[in-house]
Amino acid sequence: MLTLKLINERTEWVIKGLEKKHFSGAKEAIENVLATDKKRREAQTQLDINLSESKKLAAQIGALMKQGKKEEAESIKTEVARLKDTNKALQEAMDRAQQELTTLLCAIPNIPYDIVPEGNGAEDNVVVKMGGMETDLPKDALPHWELAKKYNLIDFDLGVKITGAGFPVYRGKGARLQRALINFFLDEARKSGYEEIMPPTVVNEASGYGTGQLPDKEGQMYHCNLDDFYLIPTAEVPVTNIYRDVILDEKDLPVKNCAYTQCFRREAGSYGKDVRGLNRLHEFSKVELVRIDKPEHSEQSHQEMLAHVEGLLQKLELPYRILRLCGGDMSFTSSICYDFEVYSEAQKRWLEVSSVSNFDTYQANRLKCRYRRTEDKKTELCHTLNGSALALPRIVAAIMENNQTPEGIRMPKCLVPYCGFEMLDDKPC
């Protein structure tokens, strides 16, 4: 969440940034924060004065009792008792204001960086780069859901039987391709200096709050009511929360972690062509990169993460493009975000496969994730960053569709050592 220091010192800039993100009622929200913070500080100031006065009066009582001035001492005791009641009321008022302040701040999104373009939605995102190999498919090219059925790679109907729509069953070479991609992505991350983490896929409320998934304004998380746990929508949640309430040493930054997990998303409101086949699932596999860094180095970290994801797509021989998201299309918590999309030749559309974001201090402030500077030993909030490297479903869809041939689906060279076959088809290995 935004820091009070930032809101107090750069009020108009904050409001302008929230408006760029199309946050309704930005000015009113910030004014409410400032007014509530003022109430909290006024209560704190009066409480400090009263506590100081109580301490002085308590010292006088002992002195008066020694002098035999019992009546005066009793009078001061009455005043101390009155201050005690007043202090209790002030503490309660201060606690209420603090709770209200936290609630208000949690409802305010992060501020986009100046480089983030203006815009309302996906149509206003800016393409900053295109790359990869062009594909030339036959006129009768099939979409991946038909290829999956033709070669017995993915059974969508069986997934519906076992669980419901959006939970496919991978079979044979389809399952081996999943495992190959996961291992390939993890190995590439390890080569780039990321420590592999195997975290839980179920988290508590504090973890969801720490990275900004809670409060769940759009109802996208699966909630286990009995135990008050949440299924993770991404490994970002458990991995970033490793550093909740932690003070890191500057010399240990940047922290670089990667993790493969299953991810769970309700995807409420999704329908039509966007949910066909692997385009949008409720459960899917993903390898995530997470970085914790100091403010002056986080932009470089972000660029390194972007280069890493681009390198994966190049090795997978897929046509891709990189978009800088506009203010209206960014997530609640990000300061800047780049999306990677691969082109599906059979579907004639771009498919998002990765988002790489810098959250500045927004998550770190919730997490209380700080680092201690080497020079003066002072502590500051870290910057947090994360990105998919990569999410599997749409990568699988693009590989299947763009590499289809009359003999089967050609595997990218980088995956052959991992999957053990050159063609994705229904033939045994």
Exposure of 230 by Cβ count < 10 A (0-12 exposed, 13-18 middle, 19+ buried)?
Answer: buried
- Predicted local distance difference test score (pLDDT) of residue 74: 77
Domains of the chain: 4-106 (1.10.287), 122-424 (3.30.930.10)
Q: Residue 336 has which token pair? A: 């800047």
At residue 183's C-alpha, the angle toward residues 178 and 185, to 5°, is 95
- Predicted local distance difference test score (pLDDT) of residue 345: 84
Helix or strand run (H / E) with residue 87: helix 70-106
- Predicted local distance difference test score (pLDDT) of residue 270: 59
β-partners of residue 153 are none
**Is 207 annotated as a binding-site member?**
no
**Is 265 annotated as a binding-site member?**
yes
Q: Residue 92 to residues 42, 82, 97, 361: CA-CA distances in angstroms?
A: 13, 16, 9, 29
Contact 311, 131 (CB under 8 A): no
* Alpha-carbon dihedral angle through residues 263, 267, 270, 274, given to the nearest 10 degrees: -10
DSSP three-state, residue 151? coil
| Bridge-based pairing state of the strands 370-372 and 247-249 | parallel
The string of DSSP letters for 286-355 reads EEEEEEEE-GGGHHHHHHHHHHHHHHHHHHTT--EEEEEPPGGGS-SS-SEEEEEEEEETTTTEEEEEEE
Q: Residue 399 has which token pair? A: 């590989």
Q: Residue ranges of the chain with pLDDT lower than 70?
A: 268-274
**Is 79 annotated as a binding-site member?**
no
Quote the CA–CA distance of 76 and 282 in Å, as a whole number. 67
Beta strands in 102-232 (DSSP E): 126-131, 154-155, 169-170, 195-197, 202-203, 223-224, 229-231
- pLDDT per residue as tens digits for the range 96-130: 999 999 999 999 999 999 999 999 999 999 999 99
Radius of gyration (C-alpha) of the chain in whole angstroms: 28
At residue 329's C-alpha, the angle toward residues 282 and 315, to 5°, is 65
**Is 352 annotated as a binding-site member?**
yes
Predicted TM-score of the model (pTM): 0.92
**Is 270 annotated as a binding-site member?**
no
Q: Which of 282, 205, 268, 283 is nearest to 241 (CA)?
A: 205
**Is 266 annotated as a binding-site member?**
yes
Please state whether the peptide bond connecting residue 412 to the residue before it is cis, i.e. omega within 30 degrees of 0: no
Q: Residue 403 to residues 150, 318, 346, 398: CA-CA distances in angstroms?
A: 15, 9, 10, 8
Q: Which of 410, 423, 339 is nearest to 136 (CA)?
A: 410
**Is 355 annotated as a binding-site member?**
yes
- Residues comprising the chain, all counted: 429
